[in-house]
Amino acid sequence: MPTRSIVKLGVNIDHVATLRQARGGEYPDVIRAASEAVSARADGITVHLREDRRHIQDRDVFHLKESISVPLNLEMSVAEEIVRIACRLRPEKVCLVPERRQELTTEGGLDVVSAKKRLAWAVARLQDQGILVSLFVDPIPKQIEAVYDIDADFVELHTGRYANRTGKDRVRELERLREGAVLAHELGLGVNAGHGLDYENVQPVARLPHIRELNIGHSIIARSVLVGLRNAVKEMRALIRRASR
């Protein structure tokens, strides 16, 4: 029987920048935060360069690209300005996500079916720069099939509905994620997942078939207030590794 690959952990450090921006200035330092996460054996660093620059700033992404020894995953909209920045930056990976100015955090997956033309343009432009491209989608078959149709490299399954449900509703959402992961894999897409995952709910998702990486931010940064960032990353990494063995 083949051995399962251990699921990787991408640590999203957006909310380190949220704290910095609350007062202005330079602290806490996102580069130092990324270094602490990498020291705790995070497999990647994720940041979302939003159009309104509410937390991560342009200078942050360029400094991170120069400073970290693990892949940088840039979450981004398909706004032309942001696509241009990504093409200059050339991170190892980008994840295209929906974005609304009014939202507190990303509220759901992309509607790839309705926006195929624009998304296909962004995917091709980014891939021309040697960047792997993922699309953040709900576990809906027609959306996953649309990701395949526009030649993206990965899907990132939106786990927010699973994270926000309890009891039988959560079990149903987990099954939707499993079915989505299987379909994406059968189509030849890589499969990542994230949103709303924490220390209590991460393991069932890490056990799903074909998941390569989980991108987790808020719960790790919140936990770090109590135990420090290295310990918070180590605790999450240990949970994922135990579940995905």
Cβ-based neighbours of 158, under 8 Å, separated by 6 or more: 106, 108, 109, 136, 137, 138, 139, 193, 194, 195
Catalytic annotation present for 210: no
Which of 15, 55, 158, 195 is catalytic? The answer is 195
The alpha carbon dihedral of 193, 16, 92, 53 has a sign of: positive
Structure tokens at 13: 């450090």
Q: Is 55 a catalytic residue?
A: no
Token pair 């609350």 in the structure block, residue: 22
- Which residues have CB under 8 Å from 167's CB, separation 6+? none
Residue 152: which residues within 8 A CB-CB, separation 6 or more? 123, 133, 134, 135, 189
Residues 6+ apart with CB under 8 A from 218: 12, 15, 105, 196, 198
Active site residue 48: yes
Catalytic residue among 48, 55, 158, 210: 48
Of 36, 55, 75, 99, the catalytic one is: 75
Angle between helix 30-39 and helix 14-23 axes, rounded to 10 deg? 150
Main-chain dihedrals φ then ψ at residue 17, nearest 5 degrees: -70, -30
Task: Judge residue 22's burial from the number of C-beta atoms within 10 Å of its C-beta, 0-12 exposed, 13-18 middle, 19 or more buried.
Answer: exposed
Residue 204's alpha-carbon distances to 46, 67, 115, 199, 241, in angstroms, are: 22, 33, 31, 11, 12
| Active site members | 48, 75, 195
